Each structure stands twice: as structure tokens, then as C-alpha cells.
Amino acid sequence: MTNRDTHRVIPLMDLRPSGLAVPAAAFHADTRLAANGLIADLRGRALRDLRISVTDRCNFRCNYCMPKEIFDKDYAYLKHTDLLTFEEITRLAHVFVAHGVEKIRLTGGEPLLRKNLEQLIEQLAALRTPAGKPLDITLTTNGALLARKAQSLKDAGLKRVTVSLDGLDDAVFRSMNDVDFPVANVLAGIEAARAVGLGPIKINMVVKRGTNAQEILPMARHFKGSGMVLRFIEYMDVGATNGWRMNEVMPSAEVIALLQSELPLVPLEPSAPGETAQRWGYANAQGQHDPAAGEIGVISSVTQAFCGSCNRARLSTEGQLYLCLFAEKGYDLRSLVRGSASEADVQSAIAHIWQGRTDNYSEQRSTLPADQGAPVKRVEMSYIGG
Ligand code: SAM
Ligand code: SF4
Ligand code: SF4
């Protein structure tokens, strides 16, 4: 059975809800907040990581993300004038950095489809943290345009890339991207990124039971010892259109057990606070981590929620700030940067929004009706980025 056969089509609904207004207290003289690099939300979580979606368009139609039946030629993508300009993105990023953001990930849709993306990267690469350090700037891509763009991305100041790759078998890969795109071209993109030094490269594989679980071991064999970190992601109930069902999720524990049957692994410590992936190292004959063989990661968004350390904010293509991947609405920052708001206004707005944050959807998922995930009003992942 292919992933197409199991796909449930869900009718199109309001996929881009109107934005939430910034709390009015942000603009009152006596409740105004300035950035000090230390804001925390109501669960004590800092703001460290900003994901910026630069386009809602994509050249793939992965059916766990942008199913063809919904994202067809009639789908109303954002107009160019709705998108944040590079100047607007940079202005907002500057404020996020003042609040403590140290890492920026460009995403989408497919970020490499955004024209002149290199210019944005140059602008972001010029930002400095309050301590004067450059940012960790990275990008998640499906790799289709990477062979062509790796050098110019590197020259613009991009540090590294994450490439999504759901299998090595050409037929499986073509069926999952659903536009018949050959796997060899993505592998060439990965090689180009490696050759220009866009590393360490991470490879993201979404595992969907019944679709590509048979690719887990071939993927692990292929990337073991390559210096690249392969990460297995549990298929998530993001958005409102992918027809998610729990029985298509392969829990990370099962992925690890499968890998262990052939490639012994040892658990590794997290390398950074708020890290989404649990790290496992390939073991040597003595049962110790062999750094030359490298490591893998599992991102257990469904079976082991990591909301407690979630320090990520998401800026949508049209400038709405989302506090969670599973949020139904975002806060409209575009009207601030397009209006007469000062830098101090934007600082105070972001501080008030983040300080009121309580989101922990993945922790609540288990309390929702079995097998369904949350009611389907959530925004699409292609719009706020992964
Ligand atoms: N187009 C780029 C790409 O695919 O890498 C960037 C955007 S994509 C939305 C970001 C990441 O989200 C990808 O690694 C993709 O595999 C992942 N993703 C999308 N839908 C998902 C889902 N339902 N469950 C888990 N991961 C998903
Ligand atoms: Fe496009 Fe990435 Fe979504 Fe696939 S996962 S449809 S490549 S945005
Ligand atoms: Fe963060 Fe929301 Fe994911 Fe929890 S569910 S880890 S709060 S994005």
C-alpha cells in the first residue's frame, strides 16, 4: 500500500487564520518592557530559537505536509505583498536577538524558492547577540535546489543546513514527495552542501509507518560515518490537512530498537538546552561511542513531548508570531513593522507576547480523543515552518 492509498482527504478550511492582536499593555508607558536578553514565558522557558518561514510555497507535495489534493493549482498562496520583506524580517530578527535568540532557522514551504534568499542571509549574518556573538544561522530544505545554491548560500553567511530526506529508494522517495522528484538530485544537493562546508549537516527523515519504515536501516547505513547526523522524526499531527492517524506514527523507541538490531547504539548527552532530538552514538566493539561512526537523533514529538524545554518562536511568512507549532493563531507583528511602531514598541510587543506563553500542545496530546490529534483548526506547517 502506498502513502497515497492511506491518505484521508480533509476539506479545505481556514488555513491562515487572522492574527491575534498584540496585548495593549505592551504600549502603555507603565507596563512597557524593554529587551534584556532574559525573557521567560509562564512556564519559565527562555526565548532562544527563531524559525522564520520565508515562503508558503513548495516544489514538493509531501503528503504529510502539503497534500496535492489541497495544495493544488487553485490553492490561494500568499501574495508577494503579503510576505514580510527581507528588511522587515531583519528588523524583527534584530529585536528577537535582543530578547535572547541565538539561533535562526530559515524554513518554509521550501525556503530556497524565495528569490534572492542570499540577501536575507547576508542581513541576518550581520546581526550580533547582546554579547557580541554572531548568530547560528541555518536552513531546512528539501534539497531539490541545493546543488545549485550551496555555494552562494555559504558565501552569504549561512553556517549549515538541514536536509529533509525520507528514504534512499527512488520509488519510495518519488512517491513521498509526490512530484516524482528523483532522490539522486537531493543526494547531489547534500554532497554540494558538504563540499562547500555547510556543516555539520543534519538529515531529517519523517518516518511514516506503512510508507517508509523499510528505509530506516538503509538510511542509517548510508549516513553512518559520513559526519552527517541522521534524525528520525515521528510523523506529527501538524496542520489540518494531512489526515494524521496515530497508527501511522512509528514511535522513536521502535526506531531505536530496529537500528540496535544491526547497528549498536549508546545514548549520548544533549548537546544544547532545548534540543529537540535525543542523541544516540554508534557503538564500537567495546560498547562505547565511536565518534568516527557518528551519531543519530530521534525526535519524538508525539510519544515523548519536549514542551518543557521548548524555547522556539516561529515567524510566519506574513509576519505572524506563533508560540507553538500546533497553535491555531499567531500574533500580527507585520502590522507593527509596517506601521509606525518604534523599535521599543516592537521589543515590548514581543516581550509581552512571550511572557504570556503557556503552550504545551504535545504534552496535552495524550489527553485528546484517541487517534485524532487536536481539532483540525491548526495552521499549516508549510506556512509557519517546521
Ligand atoms: N521544505 C523544507 C523541508 O522539507 O525541509 C522546509 C519546511 S518543512 C515544513 C520542515 C520539516 O518539517 C521537514 O523536515 C519536514 O519533513 C517536516 N515535516 C513536515 N510535515 C511533518 C509532519 N506531519 N510530521 C513531522 N515532520 C513534518
Ligand atoms: Fe515541501 Fe518541506 Fe512540506 Fe515537503 S515537508 S511539502 S518539502 S514544505
Ligand atoms: Fe514547543 Fe508546541 Fe512543540 Fe510543545 S508542542 S515542543 S510547545 S512547539
373: domain CATH number is: 3.20.20.70
Residue in 132, 195, 116 with CA at minimum distance from that of residue 161: 195
316 is in which domain, residue-wise? Answer: 24-384
Pocket test for ligand 2, best of 56, 70, 110 (most atoms within 8 A of CB): 110
Do residues 218 and 270 lie in contact, with contact meaning Cβ atoms separated by under 8 Å? no
Burial of residue 73 (CB within 10 Å: 0-12, 13-18, 19+) is exposed
| Ligand 1 mean position, distance from CA 277 (Å) | 15
Q: Whose Cα sits closest to atom 8 in ligand 2? A: 109
Query: Beta-carbon neighbour count of residue 340 at 10 Å?
Result: 6
Is 7 a domain residue? Answer: no
Give the ligand 3 atom nearest the CA of 276.
Answer: 6
Q: Tell me, in angstroms, the distance from the centre of ligand 1 to residue 293's CA.
A: 26
Residue 68 near residue 178, CB atoms below 8 Å: yes
Residue 133 counted as domain residue: yes
Residue nearest to atom 8 of ligand 1 (CA): 386
Residue 330 grid cell: 499567531
Q: How many domains does the chain have?
A: 1
**261 in any annotated domain:** yes
- The residues lining ligand 2, judged by C-beta closer than 6 Å to any ligand atom, are 58, 60-62, 65-66, 108-110, 142, 164, 382
- CA 65 to ligand 1 center in whole angstroms: 7
Atom of ligand 1 nearest to the CA of 382: 9
- Of 95, 186, 91, 90, residue with least CA distance to 137: 90
For residue 386, the CA-to-ligand 1 centroid distance in Å is 5
Residue 216 amino acid letter: I
Distance CA 96, CA 47 (A): 8
Report whether 307 contacts 362 (CB < 8 A). Answer: yes
Looking at the CA of residue 239, tell me the nearest atom of ligand 1: 23
Q: What pLDDT, on the 0 to 100 scale, is given for residue 16? A: 56
From the CA of 359, give the closest atom in ligand 3: 7
Residue nearest atom 7 in ligand 1 by C-alpha distance: 108
User: Distance from the CA of 231 to the center of ligand 2, in angstroms?
Assistant: 16
Residue 17 lies in a domain: no
Distance 84 CA to ligand 2 centre (A): 20
- Residues in the chain, overall count: 386
In this prediction the pTM is 0.93
Largest Cα separation within the chain, whole Å, is 65
- Rounded Cα gap, residues 166 and 149, in angstroms: 21
- The closest ligand to the CA of 237 turns out to be 1
Residue 4 is assigned to a structural domain of this protein:
no
248-273: b (≥16 Cβ within 10 Å) or e: bbbbbebbbebbeeebbbbeeeeeee
Task: Specify the pairing of strand 278-282 against strand 136-141.
Answer: unpaired
Indicate the burial class of 247 (C-beta count within 10 angstroms; 0-12, 13-18, 19 or more).
exposed
- What spacing in Å lies between the alpha carbon of 127 and ligand 3's midpoint? 26
Atom of ligand 2 nearest to the CA of 59: 1
Atom index in ligand 1 nearest the CA of residue 110 equals: 1
What parts of the chain have a pLDDT lower than 50? 1-14
User: Residue 233: which H helix or E strand, with range?
Assistant: strand 229-234
Q: Is 123 part of any domain?
A: yes
Q: Whose CA is nearest to atom 3 of ligand 2?
A: 65
Q: What share of the chain is helix, strand, coil (3-state, %, to 5)?
A: 30, 15, 50
Does residue 28 lie within any of the structural domains?
Answer: yes
Please indicate, yes or no, if residue 3 is contained in any of the structural domains.
no
Return the ligand number nearest the Cα of 385: 1
Query: d(Cα 259, Cα 281) in Å, to the nearest integer?
Result: 11
Taking the centre of ligand 1 as the mean of its atom positions, its distance from the CA of residue 230, in whole angstroms, is: 14
Ligand 3 — pocket residues by CB below 6 A?
A: 306-307, 310, 324-326, 359-362
State the alpha helices, DSSP H only, in 53-125.
86-98, 117-125
Peptide bond preceding 200 in cis form (omega within 30 of 0) = yes
> What sign for the dihedral angle of Cα 341, 353, 159, 181?
negative
